Amino acid sequence: MLLEINDLHVYYKSYWYTLKVLNGVWLRLDRGERIGVIGESGSGKTTLLKSILKILPQNGMIPRGEIRYDGKDILKLSGNELSKIRRKEIGMIFQDPMAALNPVFKIKDQLYDILKYKMMIEGHNPSSKELYEEASKIFSDVRLPDPDRVLESYPFQLSGGMRQRVMIAMALISAEKLLLADEPTTNLDVTIQDQILKLIHRLVMQKNLSTILVSHALGMVYQMTDRVYVLYAGDIMEEARTRELFSHPKHPYTQLLVASTPRLSSVGVGEGIKGKLPDYRNPPAGCRFAPRCPYVMDKCINTKPGKIQVNREHVVSCYLYD
């Protein structure tokens, strides 16, 4: 097992209130496995990925839970140990490359910095020529033409598709064991989305990377993952192998989610689920889906359902299967 998350709680605190976003998330990832995390926007998917790298915003806190990565407890590692993992083992593709890339530095400076640090961890201080050669090779892997121009550009001088490829290149430098991809095609137009997905898929398979793909685009998750977790309002509602989950969804939320995405080809979750996510300042005490659930029962209101194994690789958190 490469990654195991147990009972993970994440809060965001402000002067006035506390947002209780993740509410006891569990997840496991084997080496070489590709998993998806699906759910509506605002369900806590990005928070989950950021917790793994311990890069939550300043007001984020983890009051309870465990993140075990490759035998280590991420939440107890020193800054130095974490930095090594972020630079050499886990790479992340962010939703918005403009926010992830530093606008005041050329691509060359940002990419060389990551390459240099990684090579120095490996005990080698690279020359400028070596950095250039390595960057050109990585750009060729991500099908970025004209490396000289890209390296000398600032992020705003590149198209959205090129920026996304630069970010994938940067993530791949660090991702020797695990790639985290957070809605990797959200801000791109449809034709570029397809190219970027195929690119990520090819590189993941080539490098045999473990992957967590977070998305509200179910078609993408269906094509690219082995197993899926359904996250709703900070709770895992269901876990199953990908085909099983999409053909036999058990949890009422998953059923509505799958039904609201015709042929799973849409770029996102449809509008088919009535109601909205709960207020994280004061979330439901029991099942967080209760206010929107067509099957809600008295016991759903006050006590959160536990994990129920419906078959060997299919787990659901719902009293209907108790």
Which residues here bind ligand SF4, judged by CB under 6 A?
A: 252, 287, 289-290, 293, 295-297, 300, 305, 318-320
Nearest distance in Å: CB 285, ligand SF4: 12
Nearest distance in Å: CB 158, ligand SF4: 44
Nearer to ligand SF4 among residue 145 and residue 272 (C-beta): 272
Nearer to ligand SF4 among residue 75 and residue 320 (C-beta): 320
Nearer to ligand SF4 among residue 69 and residue 232 (C-beta): 232
CA pair distance 233, 284, nearest whole angstrom: 10
Contact 44, 233 (CB under 8 A): yes
CA pair distance 107, 190, nearest whole angstrom: 25
Nearest distance in Å: CB 260, ligand SF4: 16
Nearer to ligand SF4 among residue 222 and residue 319 (C-beta): 319
Nearest distance in Å: CB 232, ligand SF4: 9
CA pair distance 62, 154, nearest whole angstrom: 35
Nearer to ligand SF4 among residue 114 and residue 300 (C-beta): 300
Nearest distance in Å: CB 299, ligand SF4: 8
Nearer to ligand SF4 among residue 94 and residue 289 (C-beta): 289
Nearest distance in Å: CB 312, ligand SF4: 21
- Report the DSSP pairing between strands 34-38 and 227-232: parallel
